[in-house]
Structure 1
Amino acid sequence: MAGTVLVTGASGYLALHIISQLLDKGYRVVGSVRSQDKADKLLRNFKSQIGSKADNLCFSLVADIAEPNAFDQTFKAYPEIEAVIHTASPFTMGYADFEKAYYTPAINGTEGVLRSIKAHGLKVRKVIVTSSFASIMNAARLHDPTFIHTEDVWNPMTKKDATHDEFAYCVSKKLAEEAAWNFVKNNDVNFTMTTVCPPMIIGPQVFDEDASGSLNQSNQVFTKILDTKPGEKFINDVRLLSSDARDVAAFHIIPLERSNVEGHRLFPASNLYSEQEVLNIVLEKFPQLKGQVSEGEQEDTAVSIGFSNEKTRELVGGYDFLPLEKQVVDGFQQVLKARGISL
């Protein structure tokens, strides 16, 4: 299905990978961003990187996705939009006002874009919503490898259970995904919906320059390693789920091209990893750092998470995920380059 796709939150780490792949496949892309400065910068970067393919990219300004009717003008300005990939949702920690920082933007942003599609996106036939493993995760059973997290599992936490910001983020992702499914169920819509529930997303940035700034939450393990000292203790208590950003982006495009995934949750998890495993890969592949950073613990004692995404793999006809080593090497060498460290 080559056509026009709206990608919300277009300046985000994952969204940029999605846009890059869409443009490479010949789609026309409308990206929503908060400011004209961001739009101008992204357009310059894409033109510099992919040349004339960037002619199929333009931007719509949406200052606050949580505002009512935030996307109405986008669909009025671009009535040719045939599909929407809704990635816009913050993944930051440290806020005390959970309602304002997590729940409101996640839920209102998701419901708002769906309302705008229903009212003004008359050609939209496919909607893909970025959810998260956080909406699947059972925190009480996270360290129990016999409890298997699958596409059919839902995070049981409620707002009352959100005793800290990480739990509030997880609850916000669950509530936003539930709101999306309920909207489709309770409204007469002309589009199908698929949600994508990625775990921690590791890997390179689309643009090298972005590796010099504040990295997304998952990739902060790279800067954490570089900020350690020899002999320093390195956290190694749980194995997390990860997938490469390029794979997660591909899973947002698969629903545009395969009708059998419509109405499903996709769970693109490729592997388990501990921070110690990431550190071991870094020390093996970048030996110049030995003696400069922590070597962590000799024994990896991290507890594993039970998971299975067999249903997702069957739906998409099988998928070869990029291995953890490539996720780490491609992402970490960008950070080294950005810091001026010799490769």
Structure 2
Amino acid sequence: MKVLLTGGSGFIASHCLKTLLASNHTVVTTVRCESKGERILELYPESFKGKLSYVVVPDISQEGAFDEAVISEPPFDAVIHTASPFHFRFQDPKELLDPAINGTKGILRAIKDKAHSVKRVVITSSFAAIVSTDEHPEVYNESQWNPVTYEEGIEDRSKTYRASKALAERAAWSFMEQEKPGFSLATICPPYVFGPPIHPPESQATLNTSNAYFAMLMHGGWKEKLPPTGTWLWVDVRDIALAHVRAIEVPEAGGKRFFITAGHFDMKDVADITKKRFPEYVDKLPTKLISDKPSPLYGFDNNRSKDILHLEYLPLENSVVDTIKFLQRHPL
């Protein structure tokens, strides 16, 4: 297949890119600037020449941002849309909300109008689009939606990120229902995403949110107490990448949301693995490790991801060990 991948330098997207190439797909990825595109090309050997290229899309929130990117010769068969900001350093909540919502609607519109060859679109959503902050069900699955509104996302910064993901995904499914385009849609909804990055971080500030926790641990930031877990579900980024790629390959994935999670965890689990596998960090952890898992804790149903996408999830220890080893090789 020929695949358009948006936001190719991102944490999840860079793993999607690697998995797509390993599966022998041809990939054009969008980047915000030429230097990011060149950096991506440098990561891959000459043998991938002709299988990998990039196109610059400076601002995904602008109207028509993807109009040229979706046009290709030969044309695209599928699109994986991962580009959406995920950080908590925003000044204005609209910095997260508008690019997520407008970028999603914009790329679907561009594909419908200008890329008639595309048969499958996969969008990176989040457990944030499923989880409720008010009342948890006994078991989470794909049928549930976070009821957060745009106004709540503006007024309450603790809800901004979740609103950006929930409203962007809702916008995507509304588009499919109203516009009835010639392609099918699948969405991928992960919770905490751990695992080693593809790109060496330029600085602590450029680390993605989940890996920043590991950097903080390694620099002694967990010494006084463990950080709060917040969401007690996780998945490895390599499994998320595989989910995206399988979702464009498997016919039965069309028209479905996928809740992608390996299971429960808390920061005590991360600390326990670190103590066992990296004794040099024992003195950077609290003497007494205390779990913050509530009891009872909501359950999860990830059977759809196993049955349709045939995922077999990596264990937490693999994710923790591989991430710390990566950060050791690329110290900040």
If the TM-score is normalised by the length of the shorter chain, which range does it land in?
over 0.9
Compare 153-162 and 168-177 and name the one that shifted more.
153-162
1:98-247 pair list within 5 angstroms: 98=93, 100-142=94-136, 147-162=138-153, 163-207=155-199, 209-210=200-201, 213=204, 214-228=206-220, 232-236=224-228, 238=230, 240-247=232-239
Corresponding residue for residue 301 of structure 2: 308
**Paired residues of 1:157 and 1:171 also in contact (CA < 8 A):** yes
Provide the alpha-carbon RMSD of the alignment.
2.0
Compare 304-313 and 279-288 and name the one that shifted more.
304-313
Compare 123-132 and 152-161 and name the one that shifted more.
152-161
* Equivalent AA in structure 2 for residue 152 of structure 1: S
- Give the secondary structure class of the aligned counterpart of 2:87: coil
**Paired residues of 2:243 and 2:311 also in contact (CA < 8 A):** no
* Equivalent AA in structure 1 for residue 236 of structure 2: D
Corresponding residue for residue 34 of structure 1: 32
**Paired residues of 2:233 and 2:261 also in contact (CA < 8 A):** yes
Distance 1:320 1:76, change over 3 A: closer
CA distance in 2, matches of 1:264, 1:25: 22
Compare 102-111 and 154-163 and name the one that shifted more.
154-163
Distance 1:230 1:124, change over 3 A: closer
**Paired residues of 2:273 and 2:320 also in contact (CA < 8 A):** yes
Corresponding residue for residue 286 of structure 2: 295
* Equivalent AA in structure 2 for residue 159 of structure 1: Y
**Paired residues of 2:5 and 2:27 also in contact (CA < 8 A):** yes
CA distance in 1, matches of 2:40, 2:170: 32
Corresponding residue for residue 53 of structure 1: 48
**Paired residues of 1:14 and 1:249 also in contact (CA < 8 A):** yes
- Give the secondary structure class of the aligned counterpart of 1:249: helix
Off by >4 Å, runs of 4+ in structure 1: 236-239
Distance 1:200 1:237, change over 3 A: closer
Question: What is the aligned length?
Answer: 328
After TM superposition, give the deviation of residue 95 of structure 1 in Å.
Answer: 2.4
- Give the secondary structure class of the aligned counterpart of 2:44: helix
Tell me, which stretches of 5 or more residues in structure 2 are unaligned?
A: none
CA distance in 2, matches of 1:237, 1:52: 42
What's the % identity of the aligned pairs?
33
TM score, norm. by length of structure 2: 0.93
TM score, norm. by length of structure 1: 0.90
**Paired residues of 1:234 and 1:297 also in contact (CA < 8 A):** no
After TM superposition, give the deviation of residue 96 of structure 1 in Å.
Answer: 4.0
Deviation string for 1:94-139 (max 9, x for gaps)? 32422x2122111110000011101111211110011000000111
Corresponding residue for residue 85 of structure 1: 80
**Paired residues of 1:233 and 1:296 also in contact (CA < 8 A):** no
CA distance in 1, matches of 2:331, 2:275: 17
Distance 1:56 1:281, change over 3 A: same
**Paired residues of 1:211 and 1:335 also in contact (CA < 8 A):** no
After TM superposition, give the deviation of residue 240 of structure 1 in Å.
Answer: 2.0
Corresponding residue for residue 7 of structure 1: 5
Corresponding residue for residue 319 of structure 1: 311
CA distance in 2, matches of 1:166, 1:91: 13
Distance 1:202 1:211, change over 3 A: farther
Distance 1:298 1:64, change over 3 A: closer
* Equivalent AA in structure 2 for residue 309 of structure 1: N
